[in-house]
Structure 1
Amino acid sequence: MTDPDAEIRMQFLFALRSKGVTDARVLGAMEAIDRGPFVRGLFAERAYEDMPLPIACGQTISQPSVVGLMTQALQVEPRDKVLEVGTGSGYQAAILSKLARRVYTIDRHARLVREARSVFSQLDLVNITAVTLDGSFGLPDQAPFDRIIVTAAAEDPPGPLLAQLKIGGIMVVPVGQSDAVQTLIRVRRTDEGYAYDELRPVRFVPLLEGLGKDG
């Protein structure tokens, strides 16, 4: 008898590969982290589909292929300290926790941070620190970071986040002035300044200043 869960996992990984997620470490991390616990309520049964889904506070959990492509673009090394801006469901931070030494994740919504912490604890992910903060200012107390990933769209890569990136570090951020037209950008910090690559069109919720009403 076949294991239906194993078949779902195989289909999930096949979908990731078909969308361009080919890095073996990233695929291994995404196989290790079950998306199911990060999707609640009505949409739980759709956790293994390659689509974004609504979560609390008017936010979304990104589609897995986009999570995979962003993680791949970040080129995380095992000794890296990573900052994620926009915890959301916690799914992206959980995947990063399998690739990096330490992950700091911040969100303006206290409820999302609480719920994400609960899932991290349930999955025994002990190298993630989740904090309720205005993400547009980053986390200066822990800077500099080897890698920074932003899961909300800004008009330009935020200056405070660029300043918190180590020389030699990489930031991946969606940039765009409207909900409809956004581009995923990879920023590398060099001795001379910052080098930018455009990766692909994306759609993310906007990066907002201040705390959420529940924060």
Structure 2
Amino acid sequence: MTGRMVEKEGFAAVVLRLRSEGISDLDLLTAVEQTPRSLFVPSQFVAHAYSSRTIPIDCGAFMEGVDDVVRVLHHLKVKPGQRVLEIGTGSGFTAAVLGRIAERVLTVDRYKTLVVAAQKRMEQLSLRNVIVRQADGTNGLQGEGTFDRILLSTAFPSMPRFYADQLVSGGSMMVPLMMSDTVCRMVRLTKTGSRFEREELFEVPYQPIVSQVASFL
């Protein structure tokens, strides 16, 4: 079976799995279909690229299962013309999907190895509206203005207010929050004026936020 056929069959299986959850956003699914996931997965895990399992990558990080990625983006509700901030680039797959919908995506990671690899993948896919940067996301990302959507892939013990302050009015943020030592839940925060509406959505695998930039990893 060719790589193209593997991609097509893998994507079709994802669509079938998520349809039962009512996830059928055409723009989002088209963006996922146009972003070959096998390009982002370590070679030894290509057969699992479209599975719901987490996949280990460099620097002790991991890729969320594709179902979780689509589920999170479905709830983030990114629209054309919006500016998106992602904290925790990882392989770059989520940022690449976002880049096919949003006007501009800024994605940051603390590991140089991951940043360099993700940047190469964006260039391969000609996604010039996705900016990949090495930065420490522990205390927010100042100097970049406000965003319509913010997505954090690393877990926080409580809602990071410094990111909420970078949302425009009407904007929303998705962040994994630790509910206990073993349970992490994805939470959506929507900003209206100076008020915030909080919704707890579903459990997710997690990677704790770690301070300090790891320049040599």
The answer to whether the superposition gives a TM-score over 0.5 is yes
CA distance in 1, matches of 2:38, 2:181: 27
User: Runs of 4+ in structure 1 displaced over 4 angstroms?
Assistant: none
Residue 65 (structure 1) aligned to one of 42, 49, 67: 67
Cα deviation digits, residues 32-51 of structure 1 (max 9, x gap): 11110101132122212221
Matched, 1:160 2:130: no
Cα deviation digits, residues 170-194 of structure 1 (max 9, x gap): 0000000556201110001111321
Deviates more, 1:191-200 or 1:112-121: 191-200
Q: Which residue of 1 aligns with 2:88?
A: 86
CA distance in 2, matches of 1:19, 1:37: 27
Whether contact under 8 Å (2:64, 2:205) holds in the other structure is no
Q: Which residue of 1 aligns with 2:144?
A: 142
Number of residue pairs aligned between Structure 1 and Structure 2:
215
How far off its partner does 1:74 sit?
A: 0.8
Q: Which amino acid counterpart does residue 128 of structure 2 have in structure 1?
A: V
Cα deviation digits, residues 45-64 of structure 1 (max 9, x gap): 22122211000000001111
Q: Which amino acid counterpart does residue 177 of structure 2 have in structure 1?
A: V
Whether contact under 8 Å (1:105, 1:128) holds in the other structure is yes
Which SS does the other structure have where 2:128 is aligned?
Answer: coil
Which SS does the other structure have where 1:129 is aligned?
Answer: strand
Cα deviation digits, residues 71-119 of structure 1 (max 9, x gap): 1111111010000000000011011001100000001111100000011
Residue 27 (structure 1) aligned to one of 26, 29, 51: 29
Counterparts in 2 of 1:193 and 1:14: CA distance versus 1, 3 Å = same
Q: Which amino acid counterpart does residue 51 of structure 2 have in structure 1?
A: E
Q: Which residue of 1 aligns with 2:208?
A: 206
Structure 1 stretches lacking a partner, 5+ long: none
How far off its partner does 1:27 sit?
A: 1.2
Deviates more, 1:37-46 or 1:15-24: 15-24
Which SS does the other structure have where 1:137 is aligned?
Answer: coil
Q: Which residue of 2 aligns with 1:183?
A: 185
CA distance in 1, matches of 2:22, 2:52: 13
Counterparts in 2 of 1:18 and 1:141: CA distance versus 1, 3 Å = same
CA distance in 2, matches of 1:21, 1:64: 13
Residue 116 (structure 1) aligned to one of 103, 118, 129: 118
Whether contact under 8 Å (1:187, 1:194) holds in the other structure is yes
Counterparts in 2 of 1:195 and 1:9: CA distance versus 1, 3 Å = closer
* C-alpha RMSD of matched pairs (Å): 2.0
Q: Which amino acid counterpart does residue 97 of structure 2 have in structure 1?
A: I
Identity among equivalent pairs (%): 35
Which SS does the other structure have where 1:156 is aligned?
Answer: coil
Which SS does the other structure have where 1:12 is aligned?
Answer: helix
Q: Which residue of 2 aligns with 1:101?
A: 103
CA distance in 2, matches of 1:62, 1:34: 15
Which SS does the other structure have where 1:168 is aligned?
Answer: strand
